């Protein structure tokens, strides 16, 4: 079925960067992509971006271009999300999710959604 | 980027059938529904408008017509009280609706 386990909570100062990891197990890592979604306190879900398992393709969400970097390590089946120039409004819970699409050309025609989710990583940005 | 609009809240009594609407989007891309309980990760409830992943009860169903979609829950139960989000592929990424809080009275 698959499982995603994320790294622990982080507290960062404004202007700093944060890197969150997402360890995949129980499924063929290379057959799926990984999507990152965040949720500010009391707010809804916000799509951040998608990365192929081999890290060769990425799609970044509007508003994150230039600040967001997504990478993968296929040897450890781990995905990473690094967000820079942190601001107070970046305070949120960050989720990784297994994405049915493993190539950009899959979207949207062959897209089946995000069916396995990590437990979330709380990131607090405060001076 | 397209916008998906959901009612902020919905309510029903146990056993009732309720629907949650989701309007907007391109009209040509599929709609997805996610269920989220407070403090937990979202769960895929419906994909490609009306398909249920394994393990999702038949009480949950989805439909789409043009630029509108709906999530229906029949035989409402207290454990269905949660937040529900619709989603669809937008211009260059996934867009989520604002979410609907379902209250079971």
Closest CA to A51 of A95, A113, A104, A107: A104
The pLDDT of residue B1 is: 56
Say yes or no: B54 contacts chain A, CB-CB below 8 A. no
Q: Report chain B residues whose CB lies below 8 A from the CB of A49.
A: 93
Give residues with Cβ within 8 angstroms of A37, minimum separation 6: A45, A46, A47, A48, A94, A95, A96, A97, A114, B42
Token pair for residue B89?
A: 């592929």
Reported as a single tens digit per residue, the pLDDT across B20-49 is: 999 997 777 899 999 999 999 999 999 999
Least confident of A49-53, A91-95, A103-107: A103-107
| pLDDT greater than 70 at residue A23 | yes
The pLDDT of residue A16 is: 98
The pLDDT of residue B66 is: 86
| pLDDT greater than 90 at residue A113 | yes
Q: Kindly state the average pLDDT of the residues A66-81.
A: 97
For chain B, which residues score pLDDT lower than 70?
1
The pLDDT of residue B2 is: 74
Q: Report chain A residues whose CB lies below 8 A from the CB of B40.
A: 119-120
- Across chain A, what does the average pLDDT equal? 96
Q: State the pLDDT confidence band at A65, using cuts at 50, 70 and 90.
A: confident
The pLDDT of residue B38 is: 96
The pLDDT of residue B21 is: 97
**Looking at chain B, which runs of residues are DSSP E strands?**
4-5, 9-12, 18-24, 31-36, 43-46, 60-65, 68-73, 82-89, 94-96, 100-104
Q: Report chain A residues whose CB lies below 8 A from the CB of B32.
A: 113
Say yes or no: B52 contacts chain A, CB-CB below 8 A. no
CA distances from A107 to A2, A33, A126, B3, B30 (A): 22, 11, 37, 18, 11
């Amino acid at each position: 079925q698959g499982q995603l386990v994320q790294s622990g909570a982080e507290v960062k100062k404004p202007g700093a960067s944060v890197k969150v990891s997402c360890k995949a197990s129980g499924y063929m890592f290379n057959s799926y992509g990984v999507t990152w979604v965040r949720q500010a306190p009391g707010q809804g879900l916000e799509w951040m971006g998608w990365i192929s398992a081999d890290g060769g393709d990425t799609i970044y969400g509007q508003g994150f271009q230039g600040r967001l970097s997504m990478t993968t390590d296929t040897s450890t089946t781990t995905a990473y999300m690094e967000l820079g120039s942190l601001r107070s409004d970046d305070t949120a819970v960050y989720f990784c999710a297994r994405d049915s699409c493993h190539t950009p050309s899959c979207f949207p025609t062959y897209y089946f959604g995000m069916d396995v989710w990590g437990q979330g990583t709380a990131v607090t940005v405060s001076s | 980027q397209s916008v998906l609009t959901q009612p902020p809240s919905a309510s029903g009594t146990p056993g009732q059938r309720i629907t949650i609407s989701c309007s907007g989007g391109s009209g040509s891309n599929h709609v997805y529904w996610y269920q989220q309980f407070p403090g937990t990760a979202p769960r895929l409830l419906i994909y490609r408008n009306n398909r249920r992943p394994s393990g999702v009860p038949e009480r949950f169903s989805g439909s789409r017509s043009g630029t509108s979609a709906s999530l229906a829950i029949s035989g409402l139960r207290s454990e269905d009280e949660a937040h529900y989000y619709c989603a669809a592929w937008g211009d260059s990424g996934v867009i989520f609706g604002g979410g609907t809080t379902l209250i079971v009275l």
